[in-house]
Amino acid sequence: MTQNIYDTAEFFAGYSRLPRSVEGLAAAPEWPALQSMLPDMQRLRVADLGCGFGWFCRWAVEAGAASVQGLDVSENMLARARETTSDPAIGYARADLEKLTLAEGAFDLVYSSLTLHYIEDLRGLLEQVHRGLAPGGRFVFSVEHPMYTAPANPGWARDADGRLSWTVNRYADEGARTTDWLAQGVIKQHRTLASYANLLIETGFTLTRLEEWSASAADIAAHPDWAGADERPSFLLMAAHR
Amino acid sequence: MTQNIYDTAEFFAGYSRLPRSVEGLAAAPEWPALQSMLPDMQRLRVADLGCGFGWFCRWAVEAGAASVQGLDVSENMLARARETTSDPAIGYARADLEKLTLAEGAFDLVYSSLTLHYIEDLRGLLEQVHRGLAPGGRFVFSVEHPMYTAPANPGWARDADGRLSWTVNRYADEGARTTDWLAQGVIKQHRTLASYANLLIETGFTLTRLEEWSASAADIAAHPDWAGADERPSFLLMAAHR
């Protein structure tokens, strides 16, 4: 199965201190863009793949969803999610997304935030998402942007005018990348943007919107430590329907 | 109208010496990928936007197309295209693609190679392409990859291990970029990959395939002067249908 880095103590402790872990969706800079790609949530049956602490599950119910199934591989995260929820419309379950099966047509919306770049067999998971959606159902997800996951040594250089520039290499060379983020040896799967699109199309989805989230000038002014996040996209957001 | 750099003497002379100008499609490294995205050409009515010397127009007729309309803004290129064609199935016409109108449903395939990154009003042109296609008709095109058109100063750096790395900045900042390629002051329009996809979707197209063409290791071995073209994509290829 995919590496379950969220259940290593060092990673979990670090992850738990991130603004988006403490403050939820409002602290995720890409959330407004992702939210704009969601349908009207009224009465929807929702699944959240990689639900983490359950921030989206709770938002979805507040926004009118009929039911939300949160799925995650991390015991640590599910335990925290369950502690913060008493709403009967929300259920949490442990699931290895590499081996997930979804009941046919059981959901109107499948959502996933910053999870699919951990998955080795993405085609298999997309087939399950397609199967799990009712006809016309929506799939909305975010991943780390392929420009961000590609490089052998993710980092910055300066161009001829001294401008901060993201150094891209190994873009077409898909597969595992090991980085040290919160803990050593975190494994993510690099895929090209074309591969995300083609895998969706090949499993029967119709693409409806793409976003490549970059920080704005205002974001950088408010968060000087994000320098460079306005020069290249950090996140890829996609919406599709069955 | 869009800058017509192909009718400046210096640029035209340089462009005429490129391998793809002298030897045609076989010298365009992205051609096999682009060709694989084309439908069966038998009996199709085809338009080629930015037809240049007419290499694709002649290929399309040989592949069975019923008729091919080549359109280009450059008098120089059209003159050369006309010199090399006597096939009555091929027509050439001068057209400013910023102001193009196509007869409704007149074509089964609209093709465009490395032209749309010159267009300022791409939405307007895509609306015309959509109008010009019969129901189910195909649109297949290539452009310079957004990673390639984005930077203020296109160029290379070395990563921590000395690996050649493309320096990306200004990615989200769409609009004109002026570069010195064959002549000084060549103006291209940078758009994000998401914008190409969303403009197609918003004008009524269904995306069917994306390719981000990078050189292979074999390409680099055969063309050592292409060093780096295996590290990041040079071209974006897209296929869609009405």
Are the C-beta atoms of A125 and A98 separated by less than 8 Å? yes
Contact of B103 with chain A, judged by CB distance below 8 Å, is answered with: no
Is A104 inside a domain boundary?
yes
| B67: phi then psi, degrees, rounded to nearest 5 | -155, 150
pTM: 0.96
CB A139 within 8 A of CB A239: yes
pLDDT 10s digits, B160-183: 999 999 999 999 999 999 988 888
Q: How many domains does chain A have?
A: 1
Q: Which has the closest alpha carbon to A62: A90, A82, A83?
A: A90
Is residue B48 within 8 A of residue B41, CB to CB? The reply is: no
Q: Does B98 touch chain A (CB under 8 A)?
A: no
Measured CA to CA, the distance from residue A36 to residue A73 in angstroms comes to 27
Could you tell me if residue A99 is inside a domain? yes
Give the count of Cβ contacts less than 8 A between chain A and B. 120
Q: Nearest 5°: CA angle at B121, between B119 and B123?
A: 115
Determine the pLDDT at residue A7.
87
Closest to B170 (Cβ–Cβ): which among A150, A197, A231?
A231
> Considering only alpha carbons, which residue of chain A is nearest residue B161?
A153
Whether A119 is covered by a domain: the verdict is yes
Query: Mutating which of A156, A159, A226 best tests the B interface, going by the most B Cβ atoms within 10 A?
Result: A159
> For A216, which residue in chain B has the nearest alpha carbon?
B172
The answer, for B166 touching chain A at a CB cutoff of 8 Å, is yes
Contact A193 B212 (CB under 8 A): yes
| Any A CB within 8 A of B233 CB | yes
Q: So what's the ipTM on this one?
A: 0.96
Residue B53 burial (10 A CB sphere; 0-12, 13-18, 19+):
buried
Model confidence pLDDT, tens digit, residues A2-36: 788 888 888 888 889 998 988 999 999 999 999 99
Confirm whether A180 is domain-assigned: no
Q: Domain of A235? A: 5-145+190-241
Within an 8 Å CB–CB cutoff, is residue B20 touching chain A?
no
Is residue A236 one of the residues assigned to a domain? yes
Considering the domain boundaries, does residue A154 fall inside one? no
Per the domain annotation, does B117 fall within a domain? yes
Six-digit token string for B187 = 């103006």
- Cβ of A169 and B165 within 8 Å? yes
Average pLDDT over residues B193-207: 98
List the CATH number of the domain containing B141: 3.40.50.150
In a domain, B178, yes or no: no
